[in-house]
Amino acid sequence: MGVQECKIIELPKMEDDRGSLSFVESDSHIPFDLRRIYYLYNISEGASRGAHGHKELQQLVIAMSGHFTIEVDDGGDKKIFHLDKPNLGLYVCPMIWRHLYDFSPDAVCVVLASLHYDENDYYRNYEDFMKDVKKQ
């Protein structure tokens, strides 16, 4: 797996004069069973988030409000995505280092995750991440 697996997923969008509605269904819109949802908001100006990787976790990252940028890195290649629509999510596969930045003041980042929180699944140090990437 690598950054080529990280891609924008367009979610269903239903619109009428009352507004818009989008939804996500496991194994229909995302390639994993949903185990956890978390969200980032009230992010300080100039702050960044992420700066870690996961061994097994899969994610769908959505800009529910506002916008932000996410860089994905597989240890060899990098890609940059700008998220700014609540019906678009970035699928992030395992063994990807991610860095989120350039948050607008109104940004709300929602993350759908394939696993419950497990600190042992994290790479907090880029050098440790790169050591395991090179083993694969």
pLDDT tens digit sequence for 56-84: 999 999 999 999 999 999 999 999 999 99
Q: What tokens were used for 4?
A: 């080529």
Q: Is residue 21 part of a domain?
A: no
Q: Is residue 35 part of a domain?
A: yes
CATH number of the domain to which 106 belongs = 2.60.120.10
Instruction: Give the closest residue to 57 by CA, choosing from 1, 135, 134, 105.
Output: 1
Q: What tokens were used for 33?
A: 């069973």
The overall pTM is greater than 0.85: yes
Task: Give me the residue label for tokens 């607008």.
Answer: 104
Burial class (CB in 10 A: 0-12, 13-18, 19+), 15: exposed
Q: Are 123 and 52 in contact (CB under 8 A)?
A: yes
Domain that holds residue 55: 3-10+29-135
Tell me whether residue 54 is one of the annotated catalytic residues.
Answer: no
Q: Is residue 100 part of a domain?
A: yes
Q: Is residue 19 part of a domain?
A: no
How much is the CA Rg of the chain, to the nearest whole Å?
15
Which tens digits make up the pLDDT trace of 87-126?
999 999 999 999 999 999 999 999 999 999 999 999 999 9
Active-site choice (29, 52, 67, 99): 52
Q: Is residue 40 part of a domain?
A: yes
Task: Give me the residue label for tokens 């506002």.
Answer: 66
Q: What tokens were used for 90?
A: 């970035």
pLDDT confidence band for 5 (50 / 70 / 90):
very high
For the chain, what is the domain count?
1
Q: Is residue 92 part of a domain?
A: yes
pLDDT confidence band for 1 (50 / 70 / 90):
confident
Q: Is residue 17 part of a domain?
A: no
Backbone angles phi, psi at 133, to 5 degrees: -60, -45
Mean pLDDT on 34-46: 96
Bridge-based pairing state of the strands 88-92 and 13-16: unpaired
Q: Is residue 23 part of a domain?
A: no
